[in-house]
Structure 1
C-alpha cells in the first residue's frame, strides 16, 4: 500500500500537480509580550511559568527586570535581526523597589544573525540597573549569546551555558553607567566561532567554577577579570587570551586562581602553533597564572608583550 502511495505521489509530481508547502510556525511572541505587559500594568501575574512548553519567538520580548520572572521554557528565536530577549527598564516607569526576579530554566535557540539575551539601559543615570539574575540558562547558536550593555552592574549568572555561536559573552564598546562586578558561577562557554568572551568596554567580571572550552579565542579583555575554572582548546594559531587597554580606566588583566587548569589539547612544546598563550599590550596588563598548565606557551613564549606576570604562588614566572 505504501509503495503504491509513493508511486502515486511521484506521478502527480511529474505532472506538476504537487507543490512543496513550507509549514509556518505560529509566532508566540505577541501572546507572551501581552502577559509581560499585564504584569507591568498590575493586571496579571509577574511570575510566568511556561511549564516546559516550546515557544516560537518572532519579535523581541521586552523584559523589565524590576517586575518579571520567566521560567521553564524552550524559546526558538526566529527573528532575522536584533535580540531575542531585551532586558531593560527602557520605556517603562521604574518600580523603585528591590526585586528578586530572574530568568530561570530557559533554553534559547537562535541564529548567528541575532543576539540571545541583551541587558541594556541607555538612559543617562547611575541608578537604573538593567541586570537580572540568570539561573540555568542555555543560549545556543547566536551572534552574541549574552550581551551586557549600558546600565548593567552586579549581574549574577548561575549555571549559564553559551555555545555554538559567534561570541559567547559580549560587552559592547562605550557602555555607560555599567561595569561594577558581575559574576558567573559554574556554567560553560564553548564552541564559539570568534571568542568565548569579547569585552570592548572596561568592566569587572568574576568567574567561579566556569569552563571555557574550544572557543576560537577564549577571552578578549579590556578590564579586570578574576577566573577560577577550566580553560581548554586546541592550538589555532592565535593567543587564547588577549589583554587590551582603554584610555582612563584600568587595563585588561586576568587573575587566575591556583586551582584553575589550562589545557591545550595535542600540545607539542617542540612545535607550537600559537605565538603565545596570553597577549598583552601594556606593562599594566596584569596576569596571575595558575598552578596546572599544559600548553601554556608559544613560538614567542607563554606571554607576548610587556604585561606583568606572576605565578599562583606570587613567584616570578618560569614556564620552561
Structure 2
C-alpha cells in the first residue's frame, strides 16, 4: 500500500508540476499582471512582451516615471467603448514630484483597437504637482481607434520617433484646456495617415514635426497652436479645406510654418486647384507658410478662406515633367 501511495503521489506531483510549468509563463506574460508586479518608485520596471501577441480587455496603466513597455503586439479589439488601451499617468500616492522620464518609453509596440475606444492617452488628473504624464514613443504603430494618440494635462517636452498612427477616426488628439501641457513636443519620422481627421489640436500645443508625413487623411488637421513642419503632406482632391487654423482664448493663434524643403501635393489633381480654398482660418493672428514646392493646393478662389495671412510658396507650383 505504501509503495502504491508513493507512486500515485509521485505521478500526481509530476502532473501538478507540469501544470505549474505550463501556466507560469502565461501568468508572467500577461501585461496587466506584469505591470501590477512592478516595484514602486524609485525602482524602474521593464514590461517586455517578448514579441508575443496579447489581447487586452481593459486599460493598461503605465507610470512614465518608472515603467517601460516594449517588444510586442497588443490587440485591444475587445476593449470596452470609451476606454483607452494604454493610459500613461503618474497620478497616485508615493510618486516623486518629478518630470524625469528619460529612462522609460513605449517602444517596439504594435497597438490595434476598436473604433469606439482610444489608443494611447497621456494625461494626469492631479494638477497639484509637477509630475509629468509624458513618455517617449519610439517604433510604435497605433491603428483602429476613435483617437489613436491623445495628449492631455502635464504632457510637455518629450518626443515621438518612428511612429505610425493610422486608420482611426482621429489620429492625434490634444484635449482642450489641458493644464501644464503642450511645450515643444517633437515628432520625428511620424506618419499620420488614412484617418478621417489626421490631427485635432484642440489644446493649442506646440508641435515640431521633423521629416514627418500627413498623408491621405480625409481632413489633414485642425491647428490651434504653433506648428513647425518639415515633411510631406499628401491628400486626394479635397472638397473642403483640409487644414483649419483655429484661435484659442489667451493663447497664440494656431499657425503652420513649413520648411522650404517640405512638399505639399494633391494627388490626381493634375497640378490644378481641386477645392475652392485650401486653408480655413478664423483669426487674423493665425498664419500659414507654404514650402517652396506645392502641387495642386492653391485653391480655385484662393489659398485661404478667412483673415489669416498666407506666406509663400517662394517658388512657382511644382509641375512634373
TM-score normalised according to structure 2 size: 0.84
Is 1:187 aligned to residue 190 of structure 2? yes
Paired position in structure 1 for 2:173: 170
How far did 1:268 drift? 4.7
Is 1:199 aligned to residue 198 of structure 2? no
User: 1:269·1:297 contact (CA, 8 Å) conserved in 2?
Assistant: no
- Equivalenced residue count is 289
Is 1:104 aligned to residue 103 of structure 2? no
Aligned-pair RMSD on alpha carbons? 2.3
Paired position in structure 2 for 1:116: 119
- 1:73-98: CA deviation from partner (whole Å, max 9, x where unpaired): 10000212210000001235324563
Paired position in structure 2 for 1:80: 80
User: 1:38·1:45 contact (CA, 8 Å) conserved in 2?
Assistant: no
User: 1:228·1:256 contact (CA, 8 Å) conserved in 2?
Assistant: yes
Shift in alpha-carbon separation, 1:145–1:69, aligned structure 2, 3 A: same
Unaligned runs of 5+ in 1: 1-26
User: 1:64·1:92 contact (CA, 8 Å) conserved in 2?
Assistant: no
- 237, 241, 245: which one aligns with 1:239: 241
Does the residue aligned with 1:33 lie in a helix, a strand or coil? helix
User: 1:126·1:151 contact (CA, 8 Å) conserved in 2?
Assistant: no
- 188, 210, 213: which one aligns with 1:211: 213
Alpha-carbon distance in structure 2 between the residues aligned to 1:79 and 1:318: 49
User: 2:293·2:313 contact (CA, 8 Å) conserved in 1?
Assistant: no
- 128, 143, 148: which one aligns with 1:140: 143
TM-score normalised according to structure 1 size: 0.84
Paired position in structure 1 for 2:287: 286
Paired position in structure 2 for 1:47: 46
How far did 1:305 drift? 1.3
My pick for the range that moved more, 136-145 or 304-313, is 304-313
How far did 1:202 drift? 1.4
Alpha-carbon distance in structure 2 between the residues aligned to 1:45 and 1:176: 27
Paired position in structure 1 for 2:36: 37
How far did 1:29 drift? 11
Alpha-carbon distance in structure 2 between the residues aligned to 1:275 and 1:182: 32
Does the residue aligned with 1:94 lie in a helix, a strand or coil? coil
